[in-house]
Structure 1
Amino acid sequence: MKTTLYYFTGTGNSLWAARELARHIPETELVPMAKWIHDGDHIPAPEGRVGFVFPVSIGSPPLLVSAFAEKINLDAAEEIFALVTMGSCGDGAWKHLNRILKKRSYRMDAAYSVKTPTNYLLSGDVLPEDQEIAVISVARSDLDRIAEKITHGDNSFEKGPLLMNIRNSVLHPLLKNRLRSQGPRFRADDTCDGCGTCELVCPTYNITVSGMNRPEWGNACTFCFACINYCPRHAIQSGTKTAARNRYHHPDVSITDMMIQNGRE
C-alpha cells in the first residue's frame, strides 16, 4: 500500500521522524504541508495510507497543520494516522486533528506520540547535548516500533499521562487565539548581521529581512521557534532570558531542508 506522509516541522524533529518512518515503510512519499499552503494549489487527493507528522504547539497542532487538515481531500485514503513529536504529551494535538477530520466526515485510524528534544526556549533551556543524543536514540527505537505497527496494520491510539492531558486541554482553548500574535515577541539583538536565515526557515513567511537590516516579524507566527533556533549567531531573542539559553534544532535537518519545506528552495 502506498503511504503519503504530510509533515510540518519547526526545528526538524518532525521531518526527521517522518524520514525515519519512510525508511521502514515501503512506498512512502514525504510531502511538506507548508509548501502546499503557500503555493495555493489544489492538493492532490492521496490514495492508500495517509499520515500527518507534526509537533505539539501548546497542546494542539500548529495552526498551519490545522489549516492543511481543513483543506485536504482524503476521500481516497484507506487509512489515516497521526504521529506527533512532543516534549511531554501529544494526545491533545492528535485529538484536535481528529476533531477537524471528523467534522469533514473522515476517520482517523491510529495516532502515536514520540518524545523528542525540546525547542521551547521560553520555559527553560534546551537539553545538554548528551541528553539530546539520548532522547533521539530512544525516539529512533520508538519510531522503528511504530513503523512496524503501521506496516502491519496494528492500529492503535497511544495516550500520554492523564495529568498532562488535562493540563493541555485547559491551556489550548485559553491560548489558541493568541498564537498568531506572537511574532512581535521575537526580536534581533545587536549581534544580528542581517543574514536572512530566519526569513528562509520561517514556515509562515512571517519574517522580512530587508538588505542587511534586522528582521521584522508580522502577525502570522505559528510559534514553531524555527527562527530563534536556526539563527547562526543566536541573535534572536524573546523576553529577557533567552540570551543566556542554548539553541536546538535536529542535527540531521538543515537550513536547506527547512527551505524545501517552505517552498523557498
Structure 2
Amino acid sequence: MKTTVYYFTGTGNSLWVSKGLAERLSEKTGMSTDFCRGETELIPIAKVMRNKNPVKCPKGAVGIVCPVYQCGIPLIVSEFIEKADFKLPDYIFIILTYGSHTASAEDIAYDQMKESGRAPDYVNKIKMADNYLPLFTPPSGEKLDSLMKSAEAELEAVAADIAARKKKIPKSGIFADLITKFMYGDLRRKGHAKDKKFHADDSCNGCGTCEKVCPVGNITIENQRPAWHHNCEFCFACLHLCPKKAIQYKNSTKKKPRYKNPEIKISELMRR
C-alpha cells in the first residue's frame, strides 16, 4: 500500500523524520522506497501550497510531518490541512518534531484535521534539537549525538505503530492548553509578519543562501542584503543556514551557534 508523506521543514528535523519513516515503512511492508515516485512519496508542503490547484490526497496511508512552533503547528501546515481533501486515504497519521515541549500542539493538529472533515488515526511526536535560537542553544557534539540516537529509537517505534495501523489520539491537560492558548495565539495573531525582527549584520556578503533555503520564498536579495517580505513561517532556516552567521533575530542570536540536522544536506533544504 502506498504511503504519502507531506512534510514541512526549516533546518531539516522534519525532513529527517520523513525520510526515516519512508525507509522504515518500506522495510516493514516489503515495498520499495522511492522518495519521488513509487510506494513511498515525500512531498514538501511548501511546494504544494505554491500551487493554486486543489490538493486531493491519494489512497493508502497519508502522513503529515512538521515541527512544533510556539506550541502549535506552522501556519502553512494549518493552511494545507484546510486546503487538502482527505477523503481517499484509509489511514492518516501526524508526526510532530519538537525541542523543548509540545504543550497542546498534538491536540491542535488533531482538531484541525477533524474540522477538515477527516480526523487523523494516529498523532505522535519525536523529540529533536530545538532550533528556536532566541530562547535555546542548540546541542552539539555528544549531546547532539545522544539526542539523535534517542530520536532514532522514537522513530523506529513510531514507524512500527504506523505499519501496524495503530490508533493514537492525543489528550493534553488544562495547563498545556493554557500555555498553547497564549503561545500559539501569539503566532496566529502576528502571523507571517514576525520576520520584521530579522536582519543581516555587516558580515553578510549577499551570497543568497537565505533566499534559496527559505521554504516559502519570503526572502529576496536587494542591494546585496536579504529583504524579508512578511510571508514568514518562522522556521529560522535563513538564520541557521547562513554560511556567515550574518542573519540575526533582534539582538539575541549573534553569539549563539547555528543548527542544521546533521544527517540532512543543505542542498536538500533548498526550495523546490
Q: TM-score, normalised by structure 1?
A: 0.92
**1:224 aligned to which of 231, 235, 238:** 235
Deviation at 1:156, TM superposition (A): 1.6
Equivalent residue for 1:255?
266
Deviation at 1:45, TM superposition (A): 2.7
Give the letter aligned to residue 137 of structure 1.
K
**1:70 aligned to which of 82, 107, 125:** 82
Deviation at 1:87, TM superposition (A): 0.8
Give the letter aligned to residue 234 of structure 1.
K
Query: In structure 1, how many angstroms separate the alpha carbons of the residues matched to 2:54 and 2:153?
Result: 36
Cα-to-partner distance string for 1:148-178 (whole Å, 9 max, x where unaligned): 1110122223667875554223322244211
Pairs within 5 Å for 1:187-206 = 187-206=199-218
Query: In structure 1, how many angstroms separate the alpha carbons of the residues matched to 2:226 and 2:4?
Result: 35
**Where in structure 2 are there 5+ consecutive unaligned residues?**
27-38
Aligned residue pairs: how many? 260
Query: In structure 1, how many angstroms separate the alpha carbons of the residues matched to 2:240 and 2:189?
Result: 24
Query: In structure 2, how many angstroms separate the alpha carbons of the residues matched to 1:216 and 1:53?
Result: 29
Query: In structure 1, how many angstroms separate the alpha carbons of the residues matched to 2:119 and 2:187?
Result: 27
Contact 1:89 1:161 in 2 (8 A): no
Cα-to-partner distance string for 1:157-204 (whole Å, 9 max, x where unaligned): 366787555422332224421131111110011110100000011112
Contact 1:59 1:171 in 2 (8 A): yes
**1:40 aligned to which of 37, 41, 52:** 52
**1:97 aligned to which of 88, 105, 109:** 109
Contact 2:107 2:172 in 1 (8 A): no
Contact 1:113 1:158 in 2 (8 A): no
Contact 2:110 2:123 in 1 (8 A): no
Equivalent residue for 1:238?
249
Q: TM-score, normalised by structure 2?
A: 0.90
Query: In structure 2, how many angstroms separate the alpha carbons of the residues matched to 1:49 and 1:127?
Result: 34
* Secondary structure, aligned partner of 1:9: coil
RMSD: 1.8
